[in-house]
Amino acid sequence: MSGKRGNGEGSIYPRGNGFAAYTWVTTPTGKRARKYVYGKTRAEVHDKWIKLHTAAKAGPVATSSPTLDQYLAYWITDVVERNLKPLTAATYETAVRLYIVPFIGAKRVDKLTVRDVREWLNKLADTCQCCVQRKDEARPQERRRCCALGKCCHKTLSQRSVGDARTVLRSALTYAMTEEMIARNVAQLVKLPKPRSRKPVPWSVEEASRFLESARAARDPLYAAYVLILVLGLRKGEVLGLSWSDVTFDRHELHIRKQLQRVRRRLLHSETKTEASEAVLPLPDICEAALHIREKRRDAHKLAARELWTESDLVFTTRYGTPVEPRNFNRRFAFRCEQAGVRLIRVHDTRHTCGSLLAALDVHPRVAMQILRHTQIAVTMEVYTHVPSEETRKALRKLGVTLNGCHNEISGDEKRVSVRSGPEA
């Protein structure tokens, strides 16, 4: 052997107080470039040079690495926003902007270590978000009450929120691995305790019946929406995004195709949460009667609003035809809970009461399985284990009969008065 280096193998040479070496590599873009390594001794640099040379033979090697701040900005814009749903993309962007970049954004992607991630998570869990985001400072002078006055409120993130921030970073680094920028995902190597899930305590059938009866008696403009979320288990966005073209009265069916969400100050009509959520559901009598009432009251609102009416195909609108704000729906729901004298729960938790209500309405388990969108009848029957009292069954049947009898009896006086009850939808 001659002992000479082959063409393209690079060189080791003195540099300052140490040594340096380089190897010609192929970058992820397909170009040929030099990649340098540095160290205090020649032996140290030689070991790095050998590893670099091996990596260059195995595949593309990046010659430069952006900071985490720079890479996450690219990842959010070119990857997340183009491939994920708007609300998911907005959630990722919020986590990056508030919880990742302020703490470790200056770190280089290829230099990020497991220890860096662990220290970041510990600091994130201990940091008052009111202080770091200056929430109290953003309030008017007379309304400041904590951090801006030197009285830290210690508003730290929950264990679940810290885990969600780690999940976002892990997803970003996984994509960096596919782009061959890094060799391993350090965020994936950090283990976090699994947060205990909060089990919702949904309404009993008696509470749900009392809630619906209160809304019907008060002629609540969102009464039909309450019926749909309780009897059919629809999500809030699915109800607010429901169009009249999705309701087929002659076939007694309801098509779930879209949902309405507010994302980054915009109301968006987007796809349903999952493919299984997009379905054709049978309409029980109580739902069909409630929708008939809603249709006639919509016509009354349109007549009263005249030129102020905004035409749309949405089932649930304000008295001027504009979409119902999701937050206003939450406020309206809370107001109705107070008026009905039932426990305040999340709107989403009403889905857990759906199965019991279907049983109380004597809906066949196979039909309930289709409504609940279960894949196995055993799951549906497990939901049906809560058997309501006979008094509750009679009350719900009476409610359905009353609705069927009254949806054609909306008087002219009611049209003029509209259906005001509580805060504006």
Task: Give pLDDT tens digits for 131-159.
Answer: 999 898 888 988 889 988 888 999 999 99
User: Model's pTM, two decimal places?
Assistant: 0.71
Give exposure, 346-359, as e/b (b: 16+ Cβ within 10 Å): ebeebbbbbbbbbb
Quote the pLDDT of residue 382. Answer: 62
CB 238: neighbour CB atoms within 10 A?
A: 23
Task: Give pLDDT tens digits for 163-172.
Answer: 999 999 999 9
Share of the chain above pLDDT 70, in %: 81
Q: Using alpha carbons only, what angle is made at residue 163 by residues 348 and 351, rounded to the nearest 5 degrees? A: 10
Task: Give pLDDT tens digits for 308-363.
Answer: 999 989 999 999 999 999 999 999 999 999 999 999 999 988 887 877 777 766 77
DSSP state, residue 99: I
Please determine, for residue 8, whether its predicted confidence score (pLDDT) is greater than 50: no
Quote the pLDDT of residue 127. Answer: 94
Quote the pLDDT of residue 277. Answer: 65
Question: Who has greater pLDDT, 360 or 250?
Answer: 250
**Does residue 165 contact residue 68 with C-beta atoms inside 8 Å?**
no
Q: Lowest mean pLDDT of 82-86, 116-120, 189-193, 375-379, name the range.
A: 375-379
Rounded to whole angstroms, the Cα distance separating 162 from 257 reads 33
Mean pLDDT of 4-15: 63
Q: Which residue in the block uniquely carries the two structure tokens 């393209």? A: 8
Quote the pLDDT of residue 374. Answer: 66
- Mean predicted lDDT score pLDDT of the chain: 82
Helix (H) or strand (E) holding 59: none
* Residues 6 or more apart in contact with residue 78 via CB below 8 angstroms: none
Rounded to whole angstroms, the Cα distance separating 148 from 345 reads 33
* Structural Rg of the chain based on CA atoms: 30
Query: CA dist 156 to 166, 168, 235, 273, 378, Å?
Result: 16, 19, 30, 29, 42
Question: Who has greater pLDDT, 188 or 205?
Answer: 188
Rounded to whole angstroms, the Cα distance separating 403 from 120 reads 57
Residue 54 structure tokens: 């091996």
Task: Give pLDDT tens digits for 63-94.
Answer: 677 899 999 999 999 999 999 888 899 999 99
**Does residue 354 contact residue 230 with C-beta atoms inside 8 Å?**
yes
Rounded to whole angstroms, the Cα distance separating 217 from 27 reads 70
Quote the pLDDT of residue 124. Answer: 95
Quote the pLDDT of residue 78. Answer: 92
Beta bridge partners of 289: none
Helix (H) or strand (E) holding 108: none
Q: At 392, is the secondary structure helix, strand, or coil?
A: helix
Quote the pLDDT of residue 390. Answer: 58
Mean pLDDT of 107-122: 94
Give exposure, 372-399, as e/b (b: 16+ Cβ within 10 Å): bebeeeeebeebbeeebeeebbebbeeb
* Residues 6 or more apart in contact with residue 370 via CB below 8 angstroms: 279, 281, 282
Question: Who has greater pLDDT, 162 or 48?
Answer: 162
